[in-house]
């Protein structure tokens, strides 16, 4: 992929197919998260971001819940390590600031803690299992 991805704020209603396809590929197919855990009923009310490759193909997504919880961050395998996750997270942080959040939080997969630390998140609490994957709660104040 040459060039930075475009990251757009989108609604679940408008881009459900693309958002769901990315999450299915990453969480359900690749990481074996059970379907009933992935589709938690919170998507309609959430704010979403969608990353598009320079040619327009959807390659990543994430969501922000009303309580400041960032989640469902997913980047297709072929596009990892190229700044897509950072662009998605920065877009979600921008939405959180615009919504007036003073703090955001997430449950990071343990292998991704370093990524979130580099973007200002601080581990908080012990490691725990979610969908059979080790996670750690992390928070970040928003200036």
Break the chain into its structural domains and give their ranges: 6-107
Top-confidence residue, 5 or 130: 130
Per residue in 103-125, pLDDT (tens digit) is 999 999 999 999 999 999 999 99
Task: Supply the pLDDT for residue 34.
Answer: 94
Any bridge partners for residue 74, and if so which?
61
Per residue in 26-77, pLDDT (tens digit) is 999 999 999 999 999 999 999 999 999 999 999 999 999 999 999 999 999 9
pLDDT band for position 143 (50/70/90)? Answer: confident
Task: Supply the pLDDT for residue 31.
Answer: 96
pLDDT at 3 over 90: no
SS3 of residue 123 by DSSP: strand
The CATH superfamily assigned to 6-107 is Gcn5-related N-acetyltransferase (GNAT) (3.40.630.30)
Q: Is the pTM of this model over 0.85?
A: yes
pLDDT at 135 over 60: yes
If one counts every other C-beta atom within 10 angstroms of the C-beta of residue 131, the result is: 15
Rounded Cα distance, 37 and 57, in Å: 26
């Amino acid at each position: 992929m040459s060039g930075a991805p475009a990251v757009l704020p989108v609604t679940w209603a408008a881009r459900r197919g693309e958002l769901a396809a990315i999450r299915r590929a990453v969480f359900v197919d690749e990481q074996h998260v059970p379907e009933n855990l992935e589709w938690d009923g919170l998507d309609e009310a959430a704010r979403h971001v969608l990353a598009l490759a320079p040619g327009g193909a959807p390659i990543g997504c994430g969501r922000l819940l009303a309580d400041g919880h960032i989640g469902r961050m997913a980047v297709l395998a072929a596009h990892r390590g190229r700044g897509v996750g950072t662009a998605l997270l920065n877009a979600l942080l921008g939405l959180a600031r615009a919504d007036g959040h003073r703090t955001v939080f997430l449950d990071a997969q343990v292998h991704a803690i370093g990524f979130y630390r580099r973007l200002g998140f601080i581990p908080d609490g012990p490691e725990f299992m979610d969908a059979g994957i080790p996670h750690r709660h992390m928070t970040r104040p928003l200036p």
